[in-house]
Amino acid sequence: MRVLAVFILLIIYFPGNAWTAVNDRRVVTWNLQGSSASTESKWNSNIRTVLLGNRDDGPIPVSRHIDVMMIQEAGTLPASITTNPPLPLEGRLVNPDLVVAPINEYVWNLGTSRRPIDYYVYFSRVDTGANRVNLAILSKEKADQVILLRPRAWSGARPILGIRLGSDYYFGIHALANGGTDSGAIVARVWEYFNQNQISDQWLIAGDFNREPNQLRDLLRRSYPQEYRNVTFQYEDRPTHRTSGHNLDYGIAGQLNNPSGGPNFDCSLFTPSLIGQLVSDHSPVLLWPKK
C-alpha cells in the first residue's frame, strides 16, 4: 500500500509531460522551399502526410504520428489554418532579445469535427518582404512557452523560434544561405539562453543549418568550445539537399553542463513515404526516440 501511495503522489505532483525527455517525442524538420508550388497544397497535402502518415491499408497508428515539426521557408499559412483566430500568447511569449517578428498561435484540425486531430501551429513571419522564408513549429501539445531569440552579432540572421513543452525545449532554425555562417552563433545563443537562466532541461535545435554537420562541429569546437561540450549532433549520413548533394538538415541536442552532450535520437530521411510528393529540394528528416 505504501508503494501504491507513493506512486499516486508522483502522478499528482509530476504530471504526464514531466516524465518526458526531449528525445521521447517524434520530431521532423523540413525546409518546405516556400517559393515553389502552392503553399496551400503543400500544407494540406505534404505536411499532412508527414504528420499523420500515409499507408495503403489506412492511417498509421496515433502513436506514430509526429509530435513536433519544425518548418523552414514556410511561406504563407493556408486558409485552412487562418480561418481560426489566433490564440492569445499573453504570459507565454519569451523574447529576451526583443526580436521584432510577428508570432501567432493557431489550432489546425487535421481530422473531422467529430474526430479532431489538433495540432498547434506557431508561425513567425520573419520574412516581411517576399513572405517566403518564414518559420513555423507544429506541436500536438500546446506550448507552455513560445521563445524568440536572435544570434549575437550577425546582421541579417533569422530569429530562432522555440517552444517549451513541459520541461523539454524545441527550437526551429534556418541559417543563412551563404554557407550557414551564423550556424555556430545559433547554437551558442540557445546555449547562452539556458546558461543565463540556469535552466538544466534538455533542448533540441533542428532545421536547415546550411552547413554540413562535420563543418559545424569543427566550427563549434574552434569558436565555441564550452557550448560544443554540451551538445550532440543528430543526423543520418546522407544528403538532405538534393540540388547540392549536401547534408544540411539535422538536429543538435543539448543540456547545460552535461559532459556527454545532449540526448540522442535515431534519424532517417522521410523520403520513402513521400515519393511523388517531394515539392521541395530538401528532404524531411525524422528524429525519433532512440531504442
Check residues 206 and 290 and name the one with the higher pLDDT: 206
* Distance (Å, whole) CA 136 – CA 72: 7
DSSP 291: -
In this predicted structure, the answer to whether residue 83 has a pLDDT above a threshold of 60 is: yes
Cα–Cα dist 157/135, whole Å: 13
User: In what helix (H) or strand (E) does residue 249 lie, and over which residues does it extend?
Assistant: strand 249-255
Reported confidence tier of residue 133, pLDDT bands at 50, 70, 90: confident
Can you tell me the distance from the alpha carbon of 189 to that of 197, in angstroms, rounded to the nearest whole number? 12
pLDDT in tens, 196-254: 999 999 999 999 999 999 999 999 999 999 999 999 999 999 999 888 889 999 999 99
CA distances from 112 to 79, 109, 118, 122 (A): 16, 7, 10, 21
Question: Strand 168-174 and strand 202-208: pairing?
Answer: parallel
Quick one: DSSP state of residue 91?
A: T
**68-72/231-234 β-pairing:** unpaired
Buried b (16+ CB within 10 A) or exposed e, 223-262: ebeebbbbbbbbbbeebbbeeeeebbbbbbbbbbebeebb
Q: How far is CA 42 from CA 85, 228, 244, 250, 285, in A?
A: 21, 36, 22, 21, 16
* Residue 276, phi-psi category: left (phi > 0), alpha (psi -120 to 50), beta (remainder): left
Model confidence pLDDT, tens digit, residues 143-194: 999 999 999 877 788 999 999 999 999 999 999 998 999 999 999 999 999 9
Q: What is the pLDDT of residue 72?
A: 95
CB atoms within 10 A of CB 195: 15
For the 20-289 domain, the top CATH level (class) is: alpha beta
In 3D, which of 184, 77, 178, 187 has the Cα closest to residue 127? 77
Cβ 188 vs Cβ 222: under 8 Å: no
Closest by CA to 205, choosing from 262, 155, 156, is 262
